[in-house]
Amino acid sequence: MSAPQSAGVSGTYQDDPPSPHAVMELSTGLWAAKTLSAGVDLGLFEYLSAFPGKGVDEVASGLALPRRSAQLLLTACASLGLLRREGSGYRNEETAEHYLIADRPYSLTGWIALLDRSNYAGWMGLSTALRTGRPTTWDSDTQESLFDNTDPSARAAFWAGMDGVSRYTATRLGKAVDLSGVTRLLDVGGGGGAYATQLCRMYPGLTVTVYDLPFVCEITADMVADSGVAERVLFAPGDFFADQALPGMEAVLLSMVLHDWDEQECLSILRKCHAALPSGGQILISELLLDDSGDGPVGAALMSLNMLVETAGGRNYARGEYCAWLDSLGFVDVRVVDFHGPGSNGVVIGVKP
Ligand SMILES: C[S@@+](CC[C@H](N)C(=O)[O-])C[C@H]1O[C@@H](n2cnc3c(N)ncnc32)[C@H](O)[C@@H]1O
């Protein structure tokens, strides 16, 4: 009997193709994401935090689920590394304890709820977004930008979601960069107040002014009221496109702001930041920076694609693009300081001569 013929990639049979597992895993990535968001939505991690070690029957009755649902969800969450099997029961892994319970300082439950509420539906239309170049999470015929949403609960959900991602990221930035010489920082598009509160906690001599749209300043004032540093978080309501000038400060921060806008819009914001700074003042741009090589990293590349789904003209920009913009505006000592956060992998810094 002769050995089977290899027909190559275009035929029907090949002896030794590469493993399909990576493609299979990508194809079911949505299942994993939805397992996580359903676990959060149903309060699974909160239940197991209060009652560690409970088994399928108790979880089913505690969460008012059919037994089969509880069993499948528990097994899936354990397989994804969110839960740990303990005897006949389950308990939260440490990451679930930190990030999947609502009242924890670095909770990501607001972020996960935001994705579930509006973002995933937009991603379901990714091919449409790619073909048309238009966002799919909001109607660009009737709304001017992502931030025009008039639904109060959607507004609250957006800044609660951002807060979860940005709190941890802000502490990473505050450790990566020494801000001890700065007393007054302008947080442009600083809605949610995560950077303002975290940096004020880390730097007792610092006052942060959040410059954002008037309704966002109102939401943010409520969000920071109980932060313990509210007296050092000030507000300057405004619109960085409509306003001629931004309030003058020693340093300006832009976190996850520029990726919402196209290149001309970014340069217009950056020009106003430059004008607002004194000689020696610093600009800090915190983003998920793309590599100049155009092939990653994956977090920045997918956030960039997310900007297609979520914005009219935004994308994540590469390190070299940001540096070139700052150079062209006359900033000196332009450099990137790397760090690792969910909302940023580095900060581009420039100094006004
Ligand atoms: C993606 S969020 C980033 C929030 C915050 N910097 C962070 O990293 O958590 C973008 C912010 O830009 C603000 N923004 C959008 N358009 C603006 C405008 N025209 N003027 C001022 N702020 C604006 C939004 O309200 C929002 O707070």
185 burial level (CB within 10 Å; 0-12, 13-18, 19+): buried
Q: Is 111 in the pocket of ligand 1 (CB under 6 A)?
A: no
**Sole residue written with tokens 């509210």:** 230
Q: Is 192 in the pocket of ligand 1 (CB under 6 A)?
A: yes
Closest CA to 284 of 212, 346, 204: 346
Q: Is 21 annotated in the active site?
A: no
pLDDT in tens, 81-140: 999 999 999 999 999 999 999 999 999 999 999 999 999 999 999 999 999 999 999 888
Q: Percentage of residues in the chain with pLDDT exceeding 70?
A: 97
Ligand 1 centroid to residue 240 C-alpha, Å? 10
Say if residue 11's pLDDT is above 90.
no
Q: What is the CA radius of gyration of the chain?
A: 23
Say if residue 1's pLDDT is above 50.
no
pLDDT in tens, 193-232: 999 999 999 999 999 999 999 999 999 999 999 999 999 9
**DSSP H helix total and E strand total for the chain:** 15, 9
Cα separation, 95 vs 105, whole angstroms: 13
Say if residue 8's pLDDT is above 70.
no
Of 145 and 252, the one with more pLDDT: 252
- List the structure tokens of 304: 């960039």
Per residue, the 3-state secondary structure of 126-180, as one string, reads HHHHHHHCCCCCCCCCCCCCHHHCCCHHHHHHHHHHHHHHHHHHHHHHHHHCCCC
Say if residue 3's pLDDT is above 80.
no
193 burial level (CB within 10 Å; 0-12, 13-18, 19+): buried
Q: Is 216 in the pocket of ligand 1 (CB under 6 A)?
A: yes
State pTM to two decimals.
0.95
Q: Which atom of ligand 1 is nearest to the CA of 146?
A: 15
Instruction: Name the residue with the closest Cα to ligand 1, atom 8.
Output: 255
| DSSP assignments along 34-88, one per residue | HHHHHHHHHTHHHHHHHSTT--HHHHHHHTT--HHHHHHHHHHHHHTTSEEEETT
Q: Which atom of ligand 1 is nearest to the CA of 241?
A: 19
Ligand 1 centroid to residue 88 C-alpha, Å? 47
Mean pLDDT of 143-153: 83
Ligand 1 centroid to residue 125 C-alpha, Å? 24
Q: Is 347 in the pocket of ligand 1 (CB under 6 A)?
A: no
SS3 290: strand
For 283-300, letters b (16+ CB in 10 Å) and e give bbbbbbbbeeeeeeeebb
